[in-house]
Amino acid sequence: MKRISELRERLRALGAKPAHEARVLRLWVQALPQTSGRQPIETFLPRALRDALPALEAELAALAVLRSLHPAEDGSARLLVDLADGQAIESVLLPPAAQGGGGLCVSTQVGCAVGCRFCMTGRDGLARQLGSAEIVAQVALARRRRAVNKVVFMGMGEPAHNLDNTLEAIDLLGTLGGIGHKNLVFSTVGDERAFERLPAGRVKPALALSLHSTDAARRAHLLPRAPRLTPAELVEAAERYARATGYPVQVQWTLLEGINDGDDEVEGLAALLAGKYAMLNLIPYNRVDGLDFRRPSWDRAAAMARALNGRGILTKLRRSAGQDVDAGCGQLRSRAPRAAGGLPSRYRADPVRPATVVAARNLV
Catalytic residues: 90, 329
C-beta separation of 95 from 324 below 8 A: no
Rounded Cα distance between 234 and 243, Å, is: 14
Alpha-carbon span 78 to 76, nearest angstrom: 7
Q: How far apart are CA 221 and CA 225, in angstroms?
A: 9
Cα distance between residue 217 and residue 214, in whole Å? 9
Would you give the end-to-end CA distance of the chain in angstroms?
24
Residue type at position 229: L
Cβ count near 286 (within 10 Å) = 20
Judge whether 364 and 39 are in contact, CB under 8 Å: yes
| Nearest to 133, CA basis, from 272, 10, 309, 268 | 10
254, 297 contact by CB (below 8 A): no
